[in-house]
C-alpha cells in the first residue's frame, strides 16, 4: 500500500475516533468488490443498458420490455452478491459506536446483510415488489419472474420493484433522515460514488456546509474530490476499509 495512503489513513483515524456523530454515504462503488457492477465508469451498467428502462414513464408505458431488462440488471444475479470487507467494517464501526448512520444510494441490501442497522435507503431496496394498483408489497422471492411483467397475486395489478426509478420522488422518510444526519455529522465518509445523481449528490456538500470533515474512498476522483473532500483515500473500498478498520479497532495502549 502506498505511503501517502497509509499516512492519510493515520490522519483520518483520530477524526473518526473523536467524532461524536459519524455518517457514511455510500454508492455503487462499495458493492463492486461484492460482484455488483457500478452504473458508470468502464464496467458501468449504463454502458451496456440504456437507462431509459429505469425511467418511470417508460416502465409504465412498456412494462414487459422494461421488466425484461430490469430482471437482467438486478435480479438474474440477485442473491449471489454478499457483503465485502467495506460493508463489514462499517457494521463493525457501528457496533463500536464509531458510526451512527449510513445513507446509501444502493438497493442491494448488503449493508443490512453485513449487520448495519441504521441504514437510510435513498433509492429504496430491490428486496420488495409493490403493486401499482392495490399497493400490496411482496418479498422479491415470493413472486415468479418467469412471466413478465409480474402481476399482483391479489388484484392482477402491475408489480414494480420497490426502488426509485428515474423521474420518481425520493421516499420522504429516508430523505428527511439523510438530511438530518448530514446536518449533525462531525465526520462524513463518502464511499464509492461519482456524485452524478440528484438529489442524493447534494448530501455530502450539505454535510460539509454544516462543518463535517469529509473523508472519501474511491479508486477514481469523483465530483466531490476537488471541492468537497478533506481527506481523499484513493483505493478500492474493501481494501481501504480493511486498513482503516485495522487502525481504528486496534487495541490502543490504554486498553491494556
Query: Catalytic site residues?
Result: 123
Residues 6+ positions from 172 with CB-CB distance below 8 Å: none
Q: Which residue is nearest to ligand APR (CB)?
A: 29
Residues 6+ positions from 148 with CB-CB distance below 8 Å: 63, 64, 67, 68, 71
**Smaller CB distance to ligand APR: residue 124 or 152?**
124
**Smaller CB distance to ligand APR: residue 32 or 129?**
32
Q: How far is the CB of 98 from ligand APR (least distance, A)?
A: 20
The SS3 call for residue 117 is coil
Nearest to 219 by CA among 46, 38, 52, 70: 38
Nearest to 78 by CA among 8, 130, 145: 145
What are the cell numbers at 193?
460514488
Q: How far is the CB of 212 from ligand APR (least distance, A)?
A: 19
Surface-to-core class of residue 117, CB atoms within 10 Å of its CB (0-12 exposed, 13-18 middle, 19+ buried)? exposed
**Smaller CB distance to ligand APR: residue 44 or 205?**
44
**Smaller CB distance to ligand APR: residue 28 or 98?**
28
The SS3 call for residue 168 is coil
List interacting residues with ligand APR (CB under 6 A): 27-30, 32-33, 38-41, 44, 105, 123, 192-194, 196-197, 217-220, 222, 236-237
Residue 65 and residue 78: Cα distance in Å, rounded? 19
Q: How far is the CB of 20 from ligand APR (least distance, A)?
A: 26
Amino acid at each position: 500500500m502506498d505511503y501517502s495512503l497509509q499516512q492519510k489513513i493515520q490522519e483520518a483515524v483520530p477524526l473518526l475516533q473523536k467524532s461524536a456523530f459519524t455518517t457514511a454515504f455510500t454508492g455503487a462503488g462499495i458493492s463492486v468488490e461484492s460482484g455488483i457492477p457500478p452504473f458508470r465508469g468502464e464496467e458501468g451498467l449504463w454502458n451496456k443498458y440504456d437507462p431509459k428502462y429505469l425511467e418511470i414513464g417508460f416502465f409504465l408505458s412498456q412494462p414487459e420490455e422494461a421488466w425484461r431488462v430490469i430482471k437482467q440488471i438486478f435480479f438474474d444475479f440477485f442473491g449471489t452478491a454478499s457483503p465485502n470487507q467495506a460493508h463489514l467494517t462499517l457494521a463493525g464501526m457501528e457496533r463500536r459506536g464509531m458510526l451512527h448512520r449510513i445513507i446509501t444510494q444502493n438497493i442491494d441490501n448488503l449493508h443490512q446483510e453485513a449487520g448495519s442497522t441504521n441504514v437510510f435507503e435513498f433509492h429504496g431496496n430491490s428486496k420488495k415488489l409493490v403493486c401499482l394498483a392495490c399497493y400490496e408489497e411482496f418479498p422479491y422471492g415470493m413472486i415468479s419472474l418467469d412471466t413478465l411483467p409480474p402481476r399482483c397475486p391479489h388484484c392482477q395489478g402491475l408489480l414494480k420493484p420497490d426502488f426509485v426509478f428515474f423521474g420518481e420522488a425520493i421516499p420522504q422518510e429516508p430523505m428527511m433522515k439523510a438530511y438530518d444526519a448530514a446536518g449533525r455529522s462531525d465526520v462524513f465518509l463518502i464511499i464509492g460514488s461519482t456524485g452524478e445523481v440528484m438529489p442524493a449528490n447534494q448530501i455530502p456538500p450539505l454535510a460539509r456546509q454544516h462543518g463535517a470533515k469529509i473523508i472519501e474512498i474511491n479508486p477514481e476522483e469523483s465530483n466531490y474530490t476537488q471541492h468537497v473532500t478533506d481527506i481523499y483515500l484513493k483505493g478500492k473500498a474493501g481494501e481501504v476499509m480493511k486498513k482503516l478498520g485495522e487502525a481504528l479497532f486496534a487495541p490502543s495502549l490504554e486498553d491494556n
